[in-house]
């Protein structure tokens, strides 16, 4: 790893100042993605600004039928949170299925969605739930936030502070793990909400997480695993790699969609 | 006695390993230690046009930047392969020259080109990035079958067609005749997938040059420090043996990958002399994937013929073996004498023929890895047997039974003389433990849950304890494969055992002590095992090929024989009895049938005080021995795997795995169990998960755990283990070896079970969900599951 300056501000203001004062700053949360890339010399920020000490960043709170999760809440905290469980058990279950215990106790929800790895789990959950991403500057709808593989609507230096999720009628997530990395090779999050059915697919798309209109339409008509059978599934725009061809991924999207609906009940 | 042979004694070494107090090479720090970082080729094949080190040399902390030409100018030798193979036309093999650091051309991704020595590891690595190498890329080839094609890129000028040798074993005409007369011929195309070894501890070296004495010390992650010293002296010209000490301290796993003396260790020794500093280098995981010798990588066409009764009448095997860019130490022996010689399996076959083409490609060298040749042979045999049984509509167990060898010694047509075994007993034990009779019920229950259940066998035999020196010498080995030991009894009666075997996870500190404890009736706590240091142990050939028990422990036995003889002489003299009446029991040296005795430690004291020894006897109680085996040993077993396949996704779950093994005498059943667990898990890894992938240009795709899939605990079931023992007649302990059997026997059992479940035999390792799903699509769902 290259030499780097480390900051741990206690407030958003100090964090913004630290970012502004550096040559090239990177926000640091759990470090589960950023630090390995720095060790491999693939990233070389002059400064890292650890946002985990900022007040409120790890809070999880319910107001009405909405849960707000601090950006620095770890996957383990979300997985074990009664608050998250009371609004959306499927999201807690998704968090419980990320990586391994060490990763879950370090990695954060904010870090995961800021990174927007095309095989990450949270992007499917938040897009599927139509969540709102709160930053130090604004609120961004999940539909606008995930803009492609490893890219988001975040501006340079913009800090995610929280994510808020409203209670769905039903929701479920099914993940087919990549045998090696155990990220999602295909993950499908389904949610039935007041605003209709949403289906988000991760691990499969060449442009990262995406909503699947065909599945949404089928499930809106008939919320049952069987409804998935009739959906036309194209492999266009799906990834192909040594672990799975686009065709196999297309097939898995259907299987995982069925299982997600079954899990949602 | 509770600590003797056969006792499940807890491992002495685990106290330090489990509490994090093992001392590995990277834990060692020298006073004037500097750090090495290698500049490595990003290309699979390229000419080196120039190396500009000026920017790197100017960087903070940089002590020196050294390249392959300087190393060559200092007469450091090329890296050798230890086994000379001849082609079937009688010509010696052609292997490409392997410079420790490339001078003119790089031939695989990760090949070292230069080394930066700096004050810190971070400085060394940064400066290594600043070394500018001007490459002119050449076309590359990664697959061995492609490398043999006309017009394929050529790696070495002295290796026409990239063909190192075209070797054969057995009688081709006889095999052809057998096949021609067969009433059924089973034919298979087989790929034995390429693996990366992945010891938990990456390779590491600290080279310490002392200019006052012109002496070198190398601390390194080695399975065989004496072999390292031998080749570093005799072939690489680093220093003569008496001026080179090699220490292999605690070593965290090897599986073969730490047998070899790699470019990095050689370069560090030389760089230490050049810079006058101790030079430490520790591989990171990315370097390990690119540079640790890979494994397997065979492409095979096999034909097995049967008569109307299901008796095998002929076997013909044609294999192309990928050796990689250079021929590593055992690279030429592994796909020949460790492979072709096992192609009779457990079966009585009159006619076996095998042809192996060994090929250079633009990939990292391929060499021996847990099993080394025998997993490849077993995979060929046991896939053929299962496939043939299905084709002939026979029970796969019955087909094997009809062909089992039942009389020993048995001379196979491929060199080996099997000396003991009971294959029927193993199959029966395995079948009973696996409840084969209940399989049909389990299959239909699984079908009711939408799962495809399948069962597969593998009846393996392998060869351990490599090997009689004279025999291997006649087959081309560059060294003898004995082992040495020294038994030092101290004046207080405690014992140090010096052994040339090296432990890197096997538990020698426990099992070797058990053998001594058993012999003299002494508590294990009074016995220490010393290994891994060429200054302490005089000679040794090291640990690989499951030879530490079959060869290493028997060297200790031989030395103990000498100790015992001397102890008896001393006791007889002191107790005024006849030597023949002296017995050693429970730590006492007694005159049989009387109450006259000496405590063990009294004999030790008598030997060293020398006040009252028989006339002419030398003082002291220390004996050494070299044990040269008289044959290989032949562990065998029946493995039975049961899987459930999710037809929707192709995911395979191993729901039951039964291993019935014959390892000969078992010294410590708990350690043996652990070896089987580890071996079978590695075999399951090969069958389901692990695969090294190079793209067509020789770029390594599986360079990290994001893409290279190691087995995890939840990928494997709780194993069912059984034993059925025939004692090995070739060595005093009767041991056979258990270190590799699991990895040898398990892959075909897994694939046979999956192909049984899905009703499609067209499946290659690793059987990933995608491949299994595609195989199901190819033939449609079996009836039972629809
Ligand atoms: C072995 C392993 C297995 C894993 N398995 C999975 C898996 O199965 N599924 C899965 O989804 N993920 C997996 N991950 C990734 C893991 O979930 C990471 O935690 C996550 O991708 C990044 O979160 P982090 O808190 O560690 O972020 P960091 O690594 O600290 O940061 C990641 C990126 O996000 C930015 N960032 C962080 N926080 C903020 C913020 N509040 N505002 C703006 N930008 C921010 C950083 O600048 C950086 O660019 C795995 C990781 C590892 C190491």
Is B681 within 8 Å of B719 (Cβ atoms)?
no
- Please tell me the distance from the alpha carbon of residue A74 to that of residue A95, in angstroms, as a whole number: 9
In percent, how much of chain A has pLDDT > 70? 100
Find, in chain A, the residue whose alpha carbon is nearest to that of B693.
Answer: A242
Q: Which chain B positions have a beta carbon within 8 Å of A3's beta carbon? A: 122
Residue A4 resides in a domain:
yes
Residue A140 resides in a domain:
no
Domain boundary among A50, A68, A87: A50
Spell out which residues line ligand 1, taking CB within 6 angstroms.
Answer: A 26-34, 51, 71, 98-99, 103, 106-108, 110-112, 114-115, 117, 120-122, 154, 159-160, 182-183
Residue A207 resides in a domain:
yes
Band of pLDDT at residue A265, cut at 50, 70 and 90: confident
Å between A57 CA and nearest CA of chain B: 30
Provide the number of structural domains found in chain A. 2
User: Which element (helix H / strand E) includes A78?
Assistant: helix A75-79
Handedness of CA B164, B170, B175, B176 (dihedral sign): positive
Taking only the tens place, the pLDDT of each residue in A35-89 is 999 998 899 999 999 999 999 999 999 999 999 999 999 999 999 999 999 999 9
CA of A30 to the centre of ligand 1 (A): 6
State the residue range of the domain holding A17. 1-50
The answer to whether A180 contacts B708, with C-beta atoms less than 8 Å apart, is: yes
Taking only the tens place, the pLDDT of each residue in A171-209 is 999 999 999 999 999 999 999 999 899 999 999 999 999
Nearest Cα to Cα of residue B330 among B413, B233, B255:
B255
CATH of residue A250: 3.30.390.50
Is B409 within 8 Å of B419 (Cβ atoms)?
yes
Tokens of B494: 């405690």
Give, for ligand 1, the residue of A99, A181, A208, A243 to mutate: max count of ligand atoms closer than 8 Å to Cβ.
A99
Tokens of A149: 């593989």
Tokens of B177: 């005749």
Taking only the tens place, the pLDDT of each residue in B526-548 is 999 999 999 999 999 999 988 99
Taking only the tens place, the pLDDT of each residue in A101-143 is 999 999 999 999 999 999 999 999 999 999 999 999 999 999 9
The predicted pLDDT at position B762 comes to 97
Residue A164 resides in a domain:
no
Burial annotation B85-107 (CB, 10 A radius, 16+ → b, else e)? bbbeeeeebbbbebbbbbbebbb
Of the candidates A180, A243, A255, the beta carbon closest to that of B770 is on: A243
Neighbours of B543 (CB within 10 A): 33
- Please tell me the distance from the alpha carbon of residue B140 to that of residue B46, in angstroms, as a whole number: 9
The predicted pLDDT at position B786 comes to 42
Q: What residues contact A259, with CB distance under 8 A and at least 6 apart? A: A172, A174, A188, A225
**Residues forming a β-bridge with B186:** B304
Find, in chain A, the residue whose alpha carbon is nearest to that of B690.
Answer: A180
Interface check B764 vs A, CB under 8 A:
no
Is B536 within 8 Å of B496 (Cβ atoms)?
no
Q: What residues contact B544, with CB distance under 8 A and at least 6 apart? A: B223, B224, B254, B256, B259, B330, B368, B372, B466
Find, in chain B, the residue whose alpha carbon is nearest to that of A245.
Answer: B770
In 3-state terms, what secondary structure has residue B3?
coil
Tokens of A114: 């800021």
CA of A106 to the centre of ligand 1 (A): 9
Q: CB pairs under 8 A, 24+ apart, for A81-86?
A: A84/A60, A84/A165, A86/A62
The answer to whether B707 contacts A180, with C-beta atoms less than 8 Å apart, is: yes
Which atom of ligand 1 is found nearest the CA of A122?
Answer: 11
Is B338 within 8 Å of B372 (Cβ atoms)?
yes
Interface check A150 vs B, CB under 8 A:
no
Residue A215 resides in a domain:
yes
Residue stretches of chain B with pLDDT short of 70: 1, 783-786
Find, in chain B, the residue whose alpha carbon is nearest to that of A244.
Answer: B770
User: Which element (helix H / strand E) includes B291?
Assistant: helix B285-291
Q: Which chain B positions have a beta carbon within 8 Å of A245's beta carbon? A: 770
The answer to whether A242 contacts B129, with C-beta atoms less than 8 Å apart, is: no
Distance spanning both ends of chain A, measured CA to CA: 47
The answer to whether A248 contacts B709, with C-beta atoms less than 8 Å apart, is: no
- Please tell me the distance from the alpha carbon of residue B66 to that of residue B101, in angstroms, as a whole number: 10
**Residues forming a β-bridge with B303:** B187, B316
The predicted pLDDT at position B94 comes to 98
Tokens of B558: 């031989």
The predicted pLDDT at position B783 comes to 62
Confidence (pTM): 0.97
In percent, how much of chain A has pLDDT > 90? 97
Please give the C-alpha separations between residue A87 and each of A162, A257, B36, B485, in angstroms, as whole numbers: 16, 21, 55, 69
Sheet holding B46-52, edge to edge: B105-106, B46-52, B132-137
CA of B101 to the centre of ligand 1 (A): 38
CA of A70 to the centre of ligand 1 (A): 14
Residue A77 resides in a domain:
no
Q: What does pLDDT average to over chain A?
A: 97
Which atom of ligand 1 is found nearest the CA of A57?
Answer: 41
Residue B679 phi, psi (nearest 5): -65, -45
Is B633 within 8 Å of B737 (Cβ atoms)?
yes
Q: Which chain A positions have a beta carbon within 8 Å of B774's beta carbon? A: 248
Å between A180 CA and nearest CA of chain B: 4
Tokens of B298: 């065979």
- Please tell me the distance from the alpha carbon of residue B707 to that of residue B688, in angstroms, as a whole number: 14
The β-bridge relationship of strands A151-152 and B132-137 is: unpaired
- Please tell me the distance from the alpha carbon of residue B83 to that of residue B328, in angstroms, as a whole number: 10
Interface check B709 vs A, CB under 8 A:
yes
- Kindly report the length of chain A: 265
The β-bridge relationship of strands A132-135 and A139-141 is: antiparallel
CATH of residue A3: 3.30.43.10
Q: What residues contact B151, with CB distance under 8 A and at least 6 apart? A: none
Is B125 within 8 Å of B117 (Cβ atoms)?
no
Residue A118 resides in a domain:
no
Please give the C-alpha separations between residue B723 and each of B430, B663, B672, in angstroms, as whole numbers: 9, 8, 11
- Please tell me the distance from the alpha carbon of residue B358 to that of residue B327, in angstroms, as a whole number: 10
Interface check A176 vs B, CB under 8 A:
yes
User: Which element (helix H / strand E) includes B176?
Assistant: helix B172-180
Q: Which chain A positions have a beta carbon within 8 Å of B129's beta carbon? A: 41
Å between B719 CA and nearest CA of chain A: 21
Neighbours of B52 (CB within 10 A): 13
In percent, how much of chain B has pLDDT > 90? 98
In 3-state terms, what secondary structure has residue A64?
coil
Print the SS3 string covering B207-276.
EEEECCCCEEEEEECCCCHHHHHHHHHHCCCCCCHHHEEEECCECCCCCCCCCCCCHHHHHHHHHHHHHC
Residue A228 resides in a domain:
yes
Of the candidates B129, B648, B707, the beta carbon closest to that of A242 is on: B707
Residue in the block written with tokens 């590593």: B328
CA of A208 to the centre of ligand 1 (A): 15
Q: What residues contact A79, with CB distance under 8 A and at least 6 apart? A: A92, A93, A95, A96, A104
Can you list the domains of chain B with their CATH numbers?
14-18+32-138+201-252+258-291 (3.90.1170.50), 298-466+631-785 (3.30.365.10), 489-618 (3.30.365.10)
- Please tell me the distance from the alpha carbon of residue B648 to that of residue A252, in angstroms, as a whole number: 8
Å between B319 CA and nearest CA of chain A: 25
Q: Which chain A positions have a beta carbon within 8 Å of B773's beta carbon? A: 248, 251
Is B426 within 8 Å of B614 (Cβ atoms)?
no
Å between B702 CA and nearest CA of chain A: 9
Q: What residues contact A138, with CB distance under 8 A and at least 6 apart? A: none
Q: Which chain B positions have a beta carbon within 8 Å of A242's beta carbon? A: 691, 693, 701-702, 707
Q: What residues contact A68, with CB distance under 8 A and at least 6 apart? A: A59, A60, A61, A62, A134, A162, A163, A164
ipTM score assigned to the predicted complex: 0.96
């Amino acid at each position: 790893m290259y030499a780097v300056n480390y900051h741990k501000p206690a407030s958003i203001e100090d964090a913004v100042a630290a970012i502004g004062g550096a040559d090239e700053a990177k926000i640091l949360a759990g470090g589960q993605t950023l630090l390995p890339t720095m060790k491999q010399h693939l990233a070389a920020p002059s400064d890292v600004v650890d946002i985990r000490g900022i007040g409120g960043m790890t809070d999880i709170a319910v107001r009405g039928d909405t849960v707000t999760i601090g950006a620095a809440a770890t996957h383990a905290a979300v997985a074990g949170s009664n608050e998250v469980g009371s609004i959306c058990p499927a999201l807690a279950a998704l968090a419980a299925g990320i990586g391994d215990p060490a990763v879950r106790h370090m990695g954060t929800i904010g870090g995961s969605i800021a990174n927007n790895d095309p095989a990450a789990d949270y992007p499917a959950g938040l897009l599927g739930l139509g969540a709102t991403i709160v930053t130090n500057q604004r609120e961004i709808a999940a539909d606008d936030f995930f803009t492609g593989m490893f890219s988001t609507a975040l501006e340079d230096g913009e800090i995610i502070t929280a994510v808020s999720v409203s209670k769905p009628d039903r929701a479920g997530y099914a993940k087919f793990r990549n045998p090696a990395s155990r990220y999602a090779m295909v993950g499908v999050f389904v949610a039935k909400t007041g605003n209709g059915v949403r289906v988000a697919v991760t691990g499969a798309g060449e442009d990262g997480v995406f909503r699947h209109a065909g599945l949404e339409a089928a499930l809106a008509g008939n919320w049952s695993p069987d409804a998935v059978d009739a959906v036309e599934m194209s492999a266009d725009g799906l990834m192909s790699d040594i672990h799975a061809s686009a065709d196999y991924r297309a097939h898995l999207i259907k299987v995982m969609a069925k299982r997600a609906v079954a899990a949602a009940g | 006695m509770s600590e003797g042979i056969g006792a499940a004694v807890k491992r002495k070494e685990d106290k330090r390993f489990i509490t994090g107090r093992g001392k590995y090479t990277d834990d060692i720090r020298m006073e004037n230690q500097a750090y090495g970082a290698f500049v490595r080729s990003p290309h699979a094949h390229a000419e080196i046009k120039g190396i500009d080190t000026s920017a790197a040399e100017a960087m903070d902390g940089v002590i020196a930047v050294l390249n392959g030409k300087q190393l060559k100018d200092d007469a450091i030798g090329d890296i050798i392969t230890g086994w000379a193979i001849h082609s079937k036309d009688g010509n010696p093999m052609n292997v490409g020259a392997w410079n420790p650091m490339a001078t003119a051309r790089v031939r695989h991704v990760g090949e070292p080109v230069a080394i930066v020595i700096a004050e810190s590891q971070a400085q060394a690595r940064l400066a290594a990035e600043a070394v500018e190498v001007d490459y002119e890329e050449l076309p590359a080839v990664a697959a061995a079958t492609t490398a043999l094609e006309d017009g394929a890129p050529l790696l070495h000028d002295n290796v026409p067609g990239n063909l190192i040798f075209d070797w054969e074993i057995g009688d081709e005409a006889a095999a052809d005749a057998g096949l021609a007369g067969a009433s059924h011929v089973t034919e298979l195309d087989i790929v034995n997938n390429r693996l990366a070894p992945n010891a938990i501890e990456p390779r590491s070296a600290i080279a310490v040059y002392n200019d006052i004495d012109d002496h070198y010390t190398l601390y390194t992650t080695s399975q065989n420090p004496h072999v390292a010293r031998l080749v570093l002296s005799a072939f690489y010209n680093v220093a003569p043996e008496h001026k080179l000490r090699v220490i292999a301290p605690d070593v965290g796993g090897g599986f073969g990958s730490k047998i070899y003396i790699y470019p990095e260790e050689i370069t560090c020794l030389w760089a230490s002399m050049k810079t006058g500093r101790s030079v430490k280098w520790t591989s990171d995981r990315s370097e390990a994937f690119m540079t640790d010798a890979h494994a397997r990588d065979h492409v095979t066409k096999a034909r097995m013929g049967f008569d109307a009764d299901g008796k095998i009448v002929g076997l013909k095997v044609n294999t192309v073996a990928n050796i990689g860019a250079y021929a590593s130490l055992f690279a030429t022996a592994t796909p020949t004498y460790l492979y072709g010689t096992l192609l009779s399996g457990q079966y009585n076959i009159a006619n076996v023929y095998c042809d192996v083409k060994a090929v250079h490609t633009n990939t990292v060298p391929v060499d021996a890895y847990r099993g080394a040749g025998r997993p490849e042979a077993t995979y060929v045999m046991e896939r053929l047997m299962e496939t043939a049984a299905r084709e002939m509509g026979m029970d796969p167990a019955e087909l094997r039974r009809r062909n089992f060898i039942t009389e020993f010694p048995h001379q196979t047509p491929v060199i080996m003389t099997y000396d003991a075994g009971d294959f029927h007993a193993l199959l029966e034990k395995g079948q009973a433990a696996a409840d084969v009779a209940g399989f049909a019920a389990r299959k239909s229950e699984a079908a009711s849950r939408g799962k495809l259940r399948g069962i597969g066998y593998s009846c393996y035999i392998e060869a351990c304890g490599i090997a009689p020196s004279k025999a291997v010498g006649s087959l081309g080995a560059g060294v003898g494969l004995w082992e040495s030991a020294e038994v030092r009894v101290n004046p207080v009666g405690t014992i140090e055992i010096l052994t040339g075997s090296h432990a890197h996870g096997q538990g020698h500190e426990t099992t070797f002590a058990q053998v001594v404890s058993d012999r003299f009736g002494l508590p294990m706590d009074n016995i220490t095992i010393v290994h891994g240091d060429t200054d302490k142990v005089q000679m040794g050939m090291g640990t690989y090929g499951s030879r530490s028990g079959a060869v290493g422990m028997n060297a200790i036995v031989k030395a103990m024989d000498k100790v015992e003889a001397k102890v008896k002489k001393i006791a007889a003299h002191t107790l005024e009895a006849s030597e023949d009446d002296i017995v050693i029991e429970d730590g006492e040296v007694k005159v049989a049938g009387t109450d006259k005795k000496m405590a063990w430690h009294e004999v030790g004291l008598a030997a060293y005080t020398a006040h009252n020894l028989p006339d002419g006897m030398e003082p002291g109680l220390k004996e050494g021995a070299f044990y040269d085996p008289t044959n290989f040993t032949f562990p065998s077993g029946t493995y039975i795997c049961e899987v459930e396949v999710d037809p929707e996704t192709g995911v395979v779950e191993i729901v039951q795995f039964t291993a019935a093994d014959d390892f000969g005498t078992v010294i410590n059943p708990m350690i043996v169990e652990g070896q089987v667990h580890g071996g079978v898990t590695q075999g399951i890894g090969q069958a389901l998960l692990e695969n090294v992938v190079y793209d067509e240009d020789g770029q390594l795709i599986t360079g990290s755990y994001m893409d290279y899939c190691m087995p995890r605990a939840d990928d494997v079931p709780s194993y069912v283990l059984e034993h059925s023992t025939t004692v090995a007649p070739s060595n005093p302990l009767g041991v056979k070896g258990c270190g590799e059997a699991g990895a040898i026997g398990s892959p075909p059992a897994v694939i046979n079970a999956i192909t049984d479940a899905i009703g499609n035999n067209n499946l290659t390792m690793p059987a990933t969900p995608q491949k299994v799903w595609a195989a199901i699509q190819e033939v449609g769902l079996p009836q039972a599951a629809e």
